[in-house]
Copies of this chain bind each other. A is one copy, B any other.
């Protein structure tokens, strides 16, 4: 499905996302990165392609709140939807990736007791990280 045509622009965007699958990347960062590489790709193309990748579940879209731009991340393993979790520090802005067995419990609790199937890959927990708490 998805892209019928393979183009240079799409290849560049795709590779950048895949090579940085541990990061959350904005459309603007993609544009900047490609510019440094010597390739210029219009924002329209970047957004249009990202929409397709999101629709075909190749990348995930995050919205980290306030006036910030949306972030995109390449999905490493399509099957794993349970163990990965995000914490965003409202102090320093850091995004923490968390793996934890207790999460599964929380997920099951929501499903069994509240009839709500949470999508933890889409969910971001806001709060303050260790470093920022110590600063106070």
Chain A: residues with CB nearer than 8 A to chain B?
A: 61, 63, 65-66, 70, 87, 89-90, 96, 98, 100, 102, 106, 109-110, 113-120, 122-130, 133
Most chain B beta carbons < 10 A, residue from A63, A100, A116: A116
CB distance from A20 to the nearest CB of B (A): 22
Task: With CB as the reference atom, state the residue of chain B lying closest to A118.
Answer: B127
What residue of chain B has the Cβ atom nearest to residue A89's Cβ?
Answer: B116
* Interface contact A98-B123, CB-CB below 8 Å: no
Alpha-carbon distance A120/B102, docked complex (angstroms)? 17
Q: In the complex the two chains form, is B122's CB within 8 Å of A96's CB?
A: no
A102 touches B98 (CB 8 A): no
- A87–B63 contact, CB under 8 A? no
Q: Is the CB of A126 within 8 A of B130?
A: no
22 A–B contacts, CB within 8 A, in A order = A61-B66, A63-B63, A63-B65, A87-B114, A96-B116, A98-B114, A100-B114, A102-B109, A106-B106, A115-B129, A115-B133, A116-B128, A116-B129, A117-B127, A117-B128, A117-B133, A118-B125, A118-B126, A118-B127, A119-B128, A123-B123, A123-B124
The 7 closest A-B pairs by CB, nearest first: A118-B127, A115-B130, A63-B65, A122-B126, A119-B127, A117-B128, A123-B125
